[in-house]
Amino acid sequence: MTKNILSLCLSFLLLGAGTAQAKILRGLTFDFGGVTALGEVGSNLSPGFAGSLTVSGPSLGIPLELFLRASRQKKQETESTRLTLLPVFLSTRLELRSSASRAKTRPYLLFGLGGIFESATFPKEKMVNFDPGLLLGCGIKHAVGPKLSLVLGARYFFAYQTYQRGAELNGHFIQAGFGLDWRI
């Protein structure tokens, strides 16, 4: 299932790259950082590593983005239990304008709805779920060129899991990272 999602994302990128003149693909953002679970779920998981890819699409009143992130965390009690998350969100990044319209550093807010593909590998079994989710974030963008910016941000992910039989907790995750934003 993860291979199908990655293939779909790659197809979207290639299709968008060929039509950049039509402004279907408006930008790409790559970032890397750490991720940790909060609450009772966080007490069972070690902090992990996460990477994100954001594809910015056409601006139809609000700038829409397809946000993809992959992360891996290990359960603290055993080395053989692993949790892999692949959140997919349709989001919008709202850049806050400052009084100096040509400011190089701009703060932004991030809002999104989507879902999280979750794969948990235990010693004798593997569980795969799709959980509806919410994305909230904030950060700063600092221009280093006409189309390239450095990005520093923090994101909160909520995974709604209690709708499933046997699930007692929802997932709450925090990611902090830095990266590059390229506007086409």
- H helices within 32-166, ranges in order? 39-42
Q: With cut-offs at 50, 70 and 90, classify the pLDDT of residue 63.
A: low
Read off the pLDDT of each residue in 112-128 and give the average, rounded to a whole number: 85
Q: With cut-offs at 50, 70 and 90, classify the pLDDT of residue 101.
A: low
Task: Give the model's pLDDT for residue 161.
Answer: 86
Handedness of CA 156, 14, 144, 104 (dihedral sign): negative
Q: Mind listing the pLDDT tens digit for each residue in 140-181?
A: 999 999 999 999 999 999 989 888 877 788 889 999 999 999
- Supply φ then ψ for residue 178, to 5 degrees: -135, 155
Domains belonging to the chain, first-starting first, are: 2-183 (2.40.160.20)
What is the residue type of 27?
A: G
Task: Give the model's pLDDT for residue 4.
Answer: 53
Q: With cut-offs at 50, 70 and 90, classify the pLDDT of residue 132.
A: very high
Please state which of the ranges 16-20, 103-107, 130-134, 169-173 shows the lowest mean pLDDT. 16-20
Task: Give the model's pLDDT for residue 75.
Answer: 62
Please state which of the ranges 44-53, 99-108, 136-145 shows the lowest mean pLDDT. 99-108
With contact defined as beta carbons under 8 Å apart, do 128 and 119 qualify?
A: yes
Q: Mind listing the pLDDT tens digit for each residue in 21-49?
A: 456 778 888 899 988 889 887 777 788 88
The residue ranking higher by pLDDT, 166 or 73, is 166
The overall average pLDDT reported for the chain is: 79
- Answer yes or no: is pLDDT of 85 > 60: yes
Q: What is the CA angle 33-37-38, rounded to 5?
A: 125
